[in-house]
Amino acid sequence: MTADAPGTDGAPLLVLDGVTKSFGAVAALRGVHLALHSGEAHALVGENGAGKSTLVKILAGAHAPDAGAMTLDGQPLRLRGPADARAAGIAVIYQEPTLFPDLSVAENIFMGRQPLRGLRRIDTTAMNRDAERLFQRLGVRIDPTRPARGLSIADQQLVEIAKAISFDARVLVMDEPTAALSGVEVERLFAVARSLCEHGAAVLFISHRFNEVFDLCHRVTVLRDGAWVSSDRATDLTVDEVVRRMVGRDVASLYPKQDAELRDTLLEVRGLTRAGVFTDVSFSVRGGEIVALAGLVGAGRSEVARAVFGVDRYDAGEVLVAGRAVPAGNPGRAIAAGMALVPEDRRQQGLVMELSVERNATLARRRALSRLGLLLGAAERAEARHWTRRLQVKTSRLGAPVATLSGGNQQKVVLAKWLATEPRVLIIDEPTRGIDVGTKSEVHRLLSELAGEGLAILMISSELPEVLGMADRVLVMHEGRLVRELPRDEADETSIMFAATGQGATA
Amino acid sequence: MAHDSLYAAPPTAEAEPGAGRLASLRGLLGSWDVAVVAALVVAVLVASLTVENFATGRNAQFLLLDLVPLALIALPMTLIVITGEIDLSVASMVGLCSTLMGQLWLSSGLSLELICVLVVLLGAVLGAVNGLFVTGFGLPSLAVTIGTLALYRGLSFVVLGDQAVADFPADWTAAVVRTIPGTSIPVVVVPLLVLAVIFGVVLHATAAGRALYAIGNNDQAATFTGVSVARTKFWLFVVSGAVCGLVGILWTLRYASARGDNATGLELTVVTAVLLGGVSIFGGRGALLGVLAGVLLLGVLRNALQLADVDANALTIVTGTLLIASVVLPNAVADVRARLHRRRQRHPAAS
Amino acid sequence: MSLTDAGAPERAAGNAPSDPGRQRRGLTERLLAVRELSLLIALGLLVLVTTVRNDRFLSGQSVKDLLLGCAILVILAVGQTLVIITRNVDLSVGSILGLVAFATGSLFLSAPGTPWPVALVVGVALGALCGAVNGGLIAVARVPALVITLGTLYAFRGIDYYWASGSQINAADMPPSFLRLGNQTVLGVPVLFLVALVVVAVVGFYLRSYRSGRELYAIGSEPAAARLSGIPVGRRVFAVFVASGAFAGLAGVLYAARFGTLDAAAGTGLELQVVAAAVVGGVAIFGGSGSAYGAALGAVLLTTIGSSLAVLRIDPFWQQAVVGALILAAIGLDRVLALRVAARLRGRSAHGA
């Protein structure tokens, strides 16, 4: 179990002091302090959006902080790029693996640092052997000579881990490395991390899984809304206390879901299965109801939404809108059936960033707005104006590229695009991700209003306060399965968090 | 990345600096059409004043006759490039359609009208093969159409060898070069204009056109909006093939000769004209007006310099320089603007 | 204390009972080897069938012609491989070849006493300069290399024509020692082909055995990840275009030596043949995989097809069609193979976990 934090009294190895980073108008990190000591495993926890990944990117040299200082061994540390971070001895395991699919596993691990022999040639034999050793240490069996293409996510993550520990690194940053790993693999990883600590390295561990945090880490730092909340010895904390600090705000006033009259079932999903992604997911949503789909990142929530909407295919199960089956794998038919999906990733899936606000707002309605096959600017403009007004999109003009809008207004444009199709079922994935507080409550009021008008709303959200404030019912997913269903009055932070981390999974 | 939702760090991180550049780029490219049209006007004026014989009806006739095939192929090429793909096999499709027309005329005994219909259909089939490889098998269009470039050109030599079929009826070959009575504008400009209007309307004023831009900018977002990306691209390649069939007919009649090497190398000129016209090779951006102006600009410059006794082959310098300038300039200007902007921002802070 | 030190005791104590790297070639390499082997088999079959039909196909003169014929294409294809591996393409090689060939001729014309090694160096340097122009423009414009090199394809060719202005350089204008370079043989193998072999060996070795060579694959395989792992992407891509230009320059000099008669049209349209050779040779058009050996074999195969068709008395007009079909077959086959290998590897890792 948790050892006493070693060496926390001595001079820290790596210090972040008042690190601040903004992206446009949004502050991702506000004056964050963090001290990593040699030989300690340090957990960084926080809700989705608390700024953890931004912190990781700064440590990796991928982002430069706007303000604040970093020191390594008491020396000022300036990272101008990922190469600098490596040279300084900081290794990062990203949440999303960054491998070269065409190259062999061993090369992925040692790219740029391959062992050499005469004439500065790469010593492939030594490289494969070293890779093999790394895998032995991790206790996994991956052929170092096979290409990285086709590795499972878990194996990719293991290669990343092998890469990081192969470094001459003194600070190891792990951004949710365990999300895709099995229990045995996690144990192996922790054994390696502990042995690194014993040899004087510092490990920064980011995870949503509290049992892992308490299992591995000596100290725990909590971030909330980009700001530092606390750093304590793990032994002084409990899971409840950490959750309270992570959430730590007034929930009730922000999220005004009005009670709406519940009508007929509009969306029904039966036994939906996509091999290796989610299994046997069944639920229904009635008109006037907001059902939240909660769970950790990677639990399969967005994947369910994509399959329901037909973007991805599924292996088994069916989807019904108002009692009629919707054909699989065809978003066009889903739209025709009255479904709309506001996707998770606004930039990649929701918007065509280079096109104007107007074009984006009317993209899903482009056929309906045509007269005799012609789509005239006037019809689009009228439609776009109507919806951007209703949603109070703030833009200089409708012809402005949507990329120039703030995150909140971009999200409103996505909403406008889908509301314009007059859907009966609205699936909305992370409705307020990356938008400011004011716009957030506008979006919430709007969702409440839409439910009042009789829409069935399935809301995926990683933000607990939002889930608790908005949802009539909460479905919790864990590792591809629906594990809990909580009516509004039984749902609270702890019950959801426990189910989502796979602890109270008794449904 | 996925979990830092509230402040959307990575997305906005790229959005903000990028958005600034995009906006200024867009401002530039929005006016790129206008710039190309202006350059065209200037080129015509200067050439008329300084180059002997440029501003004559006869020259205009031949200038336009030369440009019609280029302009015709540029129409579907514009749409294809806007969706982020490319079709390098166009000139070979013209060649194959031309030799097939010759072979059919030589040996089938069919009427020329029927042969023309068949040739356009054949072009569509050739395009469908491209489309099938690209959308059905998921192969990169660049590689596929380099392959069919060689294949179709090879087949056009197989059809006729190094022979040429030249005995087309004189009234047909004369019809193609005839001008509209009272003007020096060739009649073939009329079908070009008709097609240009159709393509322009489809691209700029229909649901399908909106989908093309969406696909080119972000095919994921397009899919999420119910656009069938693969099917759309497939039909674009088919249309490209059919237009090449039509150009094959015009080319054959214009030169009264069906030969295996007809229109060799035309594909690169077409791509140049399209890019010069402001269509982004990344897809998602561009307009048909700019492309047509680009085609004309290319033609006018080459024609004028040729009349001014510059070696015809050396004129490729003009083509190349224009193409490079059209992609380097917008970026360079955006960079300078961004630098000035930053300096302006820094200045008050410093003082 | 460093993290690798943490593993040091193990390494020191490790007697490494199973040493996979030593016992067999890596799976990644084997997959590549499969591709090269299948090309060799195709080539062998082609030669065999042709020889059975006409035994003069393997006569000394015929083989010499064949090797002579493919040398220049091989050099260009190897240069192109460097570029394509980084997810770029260089369409200007045909024009660079033409320009350098004409420059070489002009050099001899204006300074008749120039020793041929000087001409060689000048030609390669001119090619490298053209490549630097490509690389520089790509860095400035931040647009795909396709567009820039399409532009320089025209520009270099135009300069060539402008310079030549209709004139022609004849073999009589060049020193005999230089022309011998183009036709001489060593033990029956043309010098030109030996030069090509050296180029293939050097580049193939470099790509496989040097860090910067492997980084080219990394860049083409996943540019974003390459940046994150600190690879100097911009510098490498620039260098690759300089190298491609230099190889085109070398090919230009050899072209001049081989044909003697030069006008500004030398090498026109060669660029697509070069890309075709690389693609047939298994170099993925979207970067990240392929080898110089494969590309060279692709070039040899394309050239041999041309010769065999003539020997087999198949209408030579079929040649280009066959090349086209071969390209389509090659990329289609690659796609099928990639899908199958991916499926198999997935299955394997599912069981292994």
Q: Which of B161, B282, B323 is closest, CB to CB, to C150? A: B323
pLDDT digits (tens, 9 = 90+) for B247-302: 999 999 999 999 988 888 888 889 889 988 888 888 888 899 999 999 999 999 88
Q: Which of A103, A104, A200 is closest, CB to CB, to C1? A: A200
| Structure confidence at residue B346 (pLDDT) | 54
Q: Report the mean per-residue pLDDT for chain B.
A: 84
For the cut 80, the answer to whether the pLDDT of residue A342 exceeds it is yes
| Structure confidence at residue B53 (pLDDT) | 86
Residue (of A19, A17, A14, A16) closest to A30 by Cα position: A19
| Structure confidence at residue C6 (pLDDT) | 35
Q: Which of A112, A182, A201 is closest, CB to CB, to C1? A: A201
- Neighboring chain C residues of B321 at a CB cutoff of 8 Å: 151, 154-155
Q: How far is CA B340 from the centre of its chain?
A: 35
DSSP A5: P
Q: Which of C89, C140, C319 is closest, CB to CB, to B331? A: C140
- Neighboring chain A residues of B22 at a CB cutoff of 8 Å: 353-354, 401, 403-404
Looking at chain A, which residues constitute the CATH 3.40.50.300 domain(s)?
14-99+151-247, 265-338+423-500
Residue (of A27, A87, A32) closest to A60 by Cα position: A87
Q: In Å, how far is C60's CA from the nearest CA of chain B? A: 30
Q: Which of A21, A53, A351 is closest, CB to CB, to B221? A: A351
- Mean of the pLDDT values across residues C70-74? 95
B213 touches chain C (CB under 8 A): no
Least confident of A247-251, C33-37, C200-204: A247-251
pLDDT digits (tens, 9 = 90+) for B18-68: 344 444 444 544 567 788 888 899 999 999 998 888 888 888 888 999 999
For the cut 70, the answer to whether the pLDDT of residue C53 exceeds it is yes
B225 touches chain A (CB under 8 A): yes
- Range A318-330 burial, b when 16+ CB lie within 10 A, else e: ebbbbeeebebeb
Q: Which residues pair with A319 in a beta bridge?
A: A269
Instruction: Report the CATH number of the A14-99+151-247 domain.
Output: 3.40.50.300
Which residues 87-126 in chain B show a CB within 8 A of chain C?
none
C60 touches chain A (CB under 8 A): no
Here the tokens at position A66 are 């706007």
- Range A331-357 burial, b when 16+ CB lie within 10 A, else e: bbebbebbbbbbbbbbbebbbbbbbbb
* Cβ–Cβ below 8 Å for C27 and A104: yes
| Structure confidence at residue A285 (pLDDT) | 94
* Cβ–Cβ below 8 Å for C328 and B133: yes
**Which of C4, C11, C28 to probe by mutation at the A interface, max A CB count within 10 Å?**
C28
| Structure confidence at residue B323 (pLDDT) | 83
Q: Architecture of C2-9+38-46+56-347 per CATH?
A: Orthogonal Bundle (1.10)
pLDDT digits (tens, 9 = 90+) for B111-123: 999 999 999 999 9
Instruction: Report the CATH number of the A265-338+423-500 domain.
Output: 3.40.50.300
Highest mean pLDDT among B226-235, B279-288, C28-37, C44-53: B226-235
| Structure confidence at residue A488 (pLDDT) | 86
B321 CB-near residues (< 8 Å, 6+ apart): C151, C154, C155
Sorting pLDDT into bands at 50, 70 and 90, what band is B77?
very high
Q: Which helix (H) or strand (E) holds B81?
A: helix B57-82
Q: Which of B7, B18, B220 is closest, CB to CB, to A226? A: B7
| Structure confidence at residue C108 (pLDDT) | 92
B163 touches chain A (CB under 8 A): no
- Neighboring chain A residues of C289 at a CB cutoff of 8 Å: 102
Sorting pLDDT into bands at 50, 70 and 90, what band is B132?
very high
**Which of C1, C2, C3, C81 to probe by mutation at the A interface, max A CB count within 10 Å?**
C3
Least confident of A144-153, A255-264, C70-79, C215-224: A255-264
Closest-approach residue (CA) in chain B for C286: B140
| Structure confidence at residue C86 (pLDDT) | 95
pLDDT digits (tens, 9 = 90+) for B154-210: 899 999 888 888 889 988 988 888 888 888 888 999 999 999 999 999 998 888 999
* Cβ–Cβ below 8 Å for A51 and B9: yes
* Cβ–Cβ below 8 Å for A375 and B207: yes
- Mean of the pLDDT values across residues A389-407? 81
Sorting pLDDT into bands at 50, 70 and 90, what band is B347?
low
Are the CB atoms for A224 and A46 separated by under 8 Å?
A: yes
- Neighboring chain B residues of A297 at a CB cutoff of 8 Å: 2-3
Q: Which helix (H) or strand (E) holds A478?
A: strand A473-478
Which residues 439-478 in chain A show a CB within 8 A of chain B?
462-463
Report the amino acid identity of residue A273: T
* Cβ–Cβ below 8 Å for C323 and B313: no
Sorting pLDDT into bands at 50, 70 and 90, what band is C26?
low
Q: Which of B137, B321, B331 is closest, CB to CB, to C141? A: B331
Q: Which residues pair with A34 in a beta bridge?
A: A16
B77 touches chain C (CB under 8 A): no
B239 touches chain C (CB under 8 A): no
For chain B, what are the domain ranges? 32-44+56-329
* Cβ–Cβ below 8 Å for C14 and A147: no
For the cut 60, the answer to whether the pLDDT of residue A47 exceeds it is yes
Is the model's pTM score more than 0.95?
no
* Cβ–Cβ below 8 Å for B9 and A47: no
| Structure confidence at residue B351 (pLDDT) | 38
What long-range pairs does A243-246 form, CB within 8 A, spacing at least 24?
A243/A210, A243/A493, A243/A494, A243/A497, A244/A493, A246/A45, A246/A46, A246/A47, A246/A50, A246/A222
For the cut 70, the answer to whether the pLDDT of residue A194 exceeds it is yes
Q: Which of C154, C275, C325 is closest, CB to CB, to B317? A: C154
For the cut 70, the answer to whether the pLDDT of residue A347 exceeds it is yes
* Cβ–Cβ below 8 Å for B137 and C332: yes
Q: Which of C264, C320, C324 is closest, CB to CB, to B313? A: C264
Are the CB atoms for A431 and A459 separated by under 8 Å?
A: yes
* Cβ–Cβ below 8 Å for B9 and A369: no
| Structure confidence at residue C347 (pLDDT) | 52
For the cut 60, the answer to whether the pLDDT of residue C127 exceeds it is yes
C156 touches chain A (CB under 8 A): no
**Which of A21, A22, A23, A153 to probe by mutation at the B interface, max B CB count within 10 Å?**
A23
For the cut 90, the answer to whether the pLDDT of residue C123 exceeds it is yes
Tell me which chains share at least 3 CB pairs under 8 Å with chain C.
A, B
Are the CB atoms for B74 and B295 separated by under 8 Å?
A: yes
Tell me which chains share at least 3 CB pairs under 8 Å with chain B.
A, C
**Which of C88, C168, C274, C327 to probe by mutation at the B interface, max B CB count within 10 Å?**
C327
Instruction: Say yes or no: domain B32-44+56-329 is CATH 1.10.10.
Output: no
For the cut 70, the answer to whether the pLDDT of residue A24 exceeds it is no
DSSP state letters, B235-279: HHHHHHHHHHHHHHHHHHHHTT-EETTTTTTHHHHHHHHHHHTT-
* Cβ–Cβ below 8 Å for B157 and C320: yes
Closest-approach residue (CA) in chain B for A305: B224
Distance CA C320, CA B151 (A): 6
* Cβ–Cβ below 8 Å for A168 and C31: no
| Structure confidence at residue A504 (pLDDT) | 54
| Structure confidence at residue C14 (pLDDT) | 34
- Neighboring chain A residues of B84 at a CB cutoff of 8 Å: none
Between the CA of residue A352 and those of A403, A404, B220, C195, what are the distances in Å?
8, 12, 9, 51
Q: In Å, how far is C236's CA from the nearest CA of chain A? A: 13
C342 touches chain A (CB under 8 A): yes
C112 touches chain A (CB under 8 A): no
- Neighboring chain C residues of B153 at a CB cutoff of 8 Å: 320-321, 324
Q: Which of A27, A311, A404 is closest, CB to CB, to B19? A: A404
- Neighboring chain C residues of A94 at a CB cutoff of 8 Å: 228
- CB atoms closer than 10 angstroms to residue A229: 17
- Neighboring chain C residues of B260 at a CB cutoff of 8 Å: 317
Distance CA A222, CA A424 (A): 40
Q: Is A123 helix (H, G, I), strand (E, B) or coil?
A: coil
Sorting pLDDT into bands at 50, 70 and 90, what band is A268?
very high
